[in-house]
Chain A
C-alpha cells in the first residue's frame, strides 16, 4: 500500500466523521486519529500480498445473482411500516426540514 502509517490527521477524522454522520467532540479527535492510525498500521501488511492478476472476491457464494419476475409480492402495510417511527403524522414519517 502506498500510504504511510500516519495518514489520519485530526482533519481526516473530522471529514470521516462527517461522511459517517457521526458527531465527534473536539477533544476526542486526536485520540480517534491515533486509534485509526494504529488499526491502519496493522492493516498495512496486506500490501505484502502479491495480488497481480487476482480478481477481487465480492461474494462468498459461487452463483449468479438470481432474478425474479418484476411483480409486486409485498406491501400495503403502511401502518406496520410507520409503527416504529420516532415521529409520524397522518400516515407519513415526520422528518426535520431538509430544504431551506
Chain B
C-alpha cells in the first residue's frame, strides 16, 4: 500500500474524495508518524483522540459525497492559534494550562472545511525567534542533517519551527504558521518546504496570540506550492472580528499556480545580499534568475535603497507592539500567577517567571523606545522609515510585477550555536522582514541543497493582494528547481 504520509495535500484530498483510502486510515498513518517522530519535539500538545473522532466524522461526510475543501486531511496547527478546549501555550510558560474557550477564525475556517487537527506545534516563545530555541518547551530538531554528521542537531528555523519540521518529516500533510518578520518563510527555507505569508489582512488575526499586530500574518507551510494555495484558500477571508481584515473576495489561488509567467517582469533587488553570506546562496539566486528567464519571465534590475534599514526599524516597531500586547499577561485573568508582597510585586514576579529571556528582552526594548523622551527619536523615526521601505516597493512595482530574492542568508545552523549578541540572530530575517513592514505577500520555495546537503529556499515577493502572481512565479520556480530531496528518517 502507498505511504499515505508521503502524499501531497492535493493528492491526499483527491484520494479521500475518491475513497481510495479513508480519513481514519490517513489520520492513523500520520499519528503513527507523529509518534515515531517524537524526538523532533515538534508538538507541544497532541490531540490524537479528537483527530480520530474528526476523521470518522469526515469519512461519514465523504461517504455521502459531501465535505469541505480540507475534508479528512490531517493537519498540524502552530500553537499560537487559539483552539477551543485544546491547550494553547504560544510556546510560553506564562499561559500555564490555558484552554481557550473559543476558536481562532483561521482554524475555525479550516475546521469548517473538514480539517482533522493532529495537535499544536512547537514555536519560539510568542513567535519571537528565528531558531525555535526560545520555546519554553525546548527546541524543535530539524529533520535534516548535514551530510555525514549524524550527531549534529540543526534548528528548523523559527518561529514556526514545529510547523516546518512536521511537514518536512511527513508527520502532517500541511501546517498553519504565522510570520511577523519571516517566521513562515525562513523555517520553510531551512526545511525544504514551501511557506507563504499572504498580504497583511488576508488571514484574520482574531484568536491568534498577538506578537506585533501591524506585522503578524498567518499562512501555511506545505510540501508544494499548490498545497500552500489550497491551505491559504481555506485559512484566508474577511472577518469582521479583525478590524484590519481585508473585505475582498479571495482569488482562486490554486488556479494561479497553473498560470504562465511568460512576459512577467521579475525584479532583482541589488540590495538583497549580506556580508559573509555563503557564495552558494548568491549562486542559487543567479540560478533562480535563469530558471524564471527560461520560463519566459523578463528580468529587471531594481533598487530598494532602504533595505538595510528594515531590520533596525523592525526591531523598534515589533518590540514596541510586543510590549503593549504582552501587557495583558498579568497573572490575573488567565495563566500562571506568582504571588508577591503586593499587586506590583505579583505582576513583576509573575512576568519574570513566566516569560523567557528573549521575550523579556523585547518587552524591555519596546518599553524603552515607547517611553517618554525616546518616543520620537525611536518609535516615530522607525514608523517613518517604514514608510520609506514601503515606498521602495511602490517604486519597484513601476518596472516589475514581483521580486526574486534569497529567503535567508544561511542554511539551517546547529542547535545551541553560540550567539554573541542578539543582533546576530536577528539577521536571519534580513530578506524576509521587508515584506512584513510593507504588508506584502511573500513565498519561500525550496530550490536546492547546499554543499552540506541542506535545503535552501528562494523567495518571491509580490504586490499587496497579488498572491496570484506570487503563486504563479513560485510554481514556476518549483517546477524548474525540481526539488524532491527528503531528509533521511533517522528519527524512526
Contact = CB atoms under 8 A, between A and B. Distances in A.
Interface of A: 1-3, 8, 12-13, 16-24, 32, 35-36, 38-40, 42-43, 45-49, 51, 54-63, 65-66, 68, 77, 80-81, 83-87, 93, 95-98
A45 B312 contact: yes
Interchain residue pairs A-B with the least CB separation, the first 7: A60-B439, A56-B383, A84-B334, A80-B101, A23-B352, A51-B384, A23-B348
Given A21-B351, A38-B423, A46-B381, A95 B360 contact: no
Contacts of A48: 309
Nearest to A32: B364
A42 B98 contact: no
A39 B390 contact: no
B385 A46 contact: yes
B380 to A, nearest CB: 6
Interface string B348-374: 110110010000110111011001001
A83 B335 CA distance: 11
Nearest to B201: A61
A46 B316 contact: yes
A35 to B, nearest CB: 7
A54 B332 contact: no
B387 interface: yes
Nearest to A94: B332
A59 to B, nearest CB: 6
Nearest to B348: A23
25 contacts: A1-B378, A1-B381, A13-B364, A20-B364, A21-B330, A22-B352, A23-B351, A43-B316, A43-B378, A46-B313, A46-B382, A49-B306, A51-B385, A57-B384, A60-B439, A61-B200, A63-B246, A77-B101, A80-B101, A84-B99, A87-B337, A96-B339, A96-B342, A97-B343, A98-B342
Interface string B115-140: 00000000000000000000000000
Contact of B98 (A8, A77, A84, A93): A84
Contact of A24 (B330, B352, B384): B352
Given A22-B360, A61-B246, A16 B384 contact: no
Contact of A60 (B335, B344, B364, B438): B438
B214 interface: yes
A29 to B, nearest CB: 11
Contact of B368 (A1, A16, A77): A16
Contacts of A38: 421-423
Interface string B95-110: 0111101100000000
B333 interface: yes
B363 A22 contact: yes
Contacts of B351: 20-23
Contacts of A40: 365, 368
A9 to B, nearest CB: 12
B316 A22 contact: no
A32 B351 CA distance: 17
B99 A86 contact: no
B483 interface: no
Given A56-B383, A60-B201, A60-B436, 16 more contacts: A20-B323, A23-B351, A36-B365, A38-B422, A46-B312, A46-B313, A46-B382, A47-B381, A48-B309, A61-B200, A80-B101, A85-B332, A86-B96, A93-B332, A96-B339, A98-B342
